[in-house]
Amino acid sequence: MGKVLKALEHALQNKESTRRDGVLPGDVRQKTSRKGEAVGVSERALFDNLASDDIRIQDWNEKLIAVNEPSSPMAENFRRLRTKILHPPHGSPPKSILITSAAPNEGKSFVCANLGITIAQGVEQHALIVDGDLRRPTIAKLFGLKNDRGLVNFLYDKSILSSLIKKTSLEKLSIIPSGLPPINPSELIASEKMSSLVNEVVSRYPDRFILIDAPPFHAAAETAILAKLVDAVVLVVRWGVAARYAVKETMESLGKDKIVGIVFNAFEKSDFENKISGYYYSHYEKYGYFGKENK
């Protein structure tokens, strides 16, 4: 016990000494590059001073099967979806991806969270999940986070972005919660600051993918706005729930060329044909990925 008390006393002394020297923990006024050169605030890496909330994997929701059941068929399908995104048949992989659905309760947040985890589990890629559903936010709850501050604060009250990005126990995965639901979500999403956020993260970090969980397309006007800011869209369709006309209208409005895949949630294999309209389909149990055929 004596050693523990001494260690605590030593830590407190160091903390007090740091304060006397005028440098607080997490001070971001100036940092030093690997070469020893001073780097100004405007040039520092956005992700070097993230909020330090302790987000433990054991606090994550059981729906995050990419972590809780990594050997399951569903987790494997998320890895297949990751492969299709990171290795497209033509051109470069999309760096900003919108995940949405035609209607509510189709599982878009479930897909967004698990896809973000799966990308971050890769060898070279980092993932930033942004909860862009300012009306019915879900991402924070899935990861055991508070949702008192987030994207809304950045868009509305000029909060520093790095103070809103949350680290997770998965080293290469970060999260921006939505924050408390505002009275004007469409106006906030349509602001120049939202566009600058996406451009800043994508252009600054070539190894980082940004995933935005958006409201259902037919439930909120801002999803169409967000779709214009990203490189690609993943559309989530809950089998037996989504109306065909709603899915078709959503695809046409978003643009078929922008949709990199359709994820079917909770479908029954016997009810689905293997080939539909130039797309191919694969499944395991009650989860499937639906992507464009290479031509």
The structural domains of the chain, with segments of one domain joined by +, span 1-44, 50-292
Phi first, then psi, for residue 194 (nearest 5°) are -65, -45
Over residues 258-284, the mean pLDDT reads: 55
Over residues 202-230, the mean pLDDT reads: 91
Q: Which amino acid is at 182?
A: P
Of residues 169 and 273, more confidence is placed in: 169
Q: Regarding the domain delimited by 50-292, which CATH topology (the fold level of the hierarchy) does it fall under? A: Rossmann fold (3.40.50)
State residue 43's pLDDT score: 35
Strands 259-265 and 232-238: parallel
Tens of pLDDT, residue by residue over 178-203, are 999 999 999 999 999 999 999 988 88
Q: What percent of the chain has pLDDT over 70?
A: 69
pTM over the 0.75 mark: no
Residue 15, Cβ neighbours under 10 Å: how many?
11
Over residues 233-255, the mean pLDDT reads: 86
Tens of pLDDT, residue by residue over 2-29, are 444 444 344 444 444 443 443 333 333 3
Q: In which band, very low, low, confident or very high, does the pLDDT at 114 lie, cut at 50, 70 and 90?
A: very high
Q: What percent of the chain has pLDDT over 90?
A: 40
Mean pLDDT of the chain: 76
- Is residue 204 scored above 60 in pLDDT? yes
State residue 40's pLDDT score: 34
Q: For the chain, first and last CA: distance in Å?
A: 69
Containing H/E element for 175?
strand 173-176
Least confident of 44-53, 155-164, 200-209, 256-265: 44-53
Partners of 176 in the beta sheet? Answer: 130
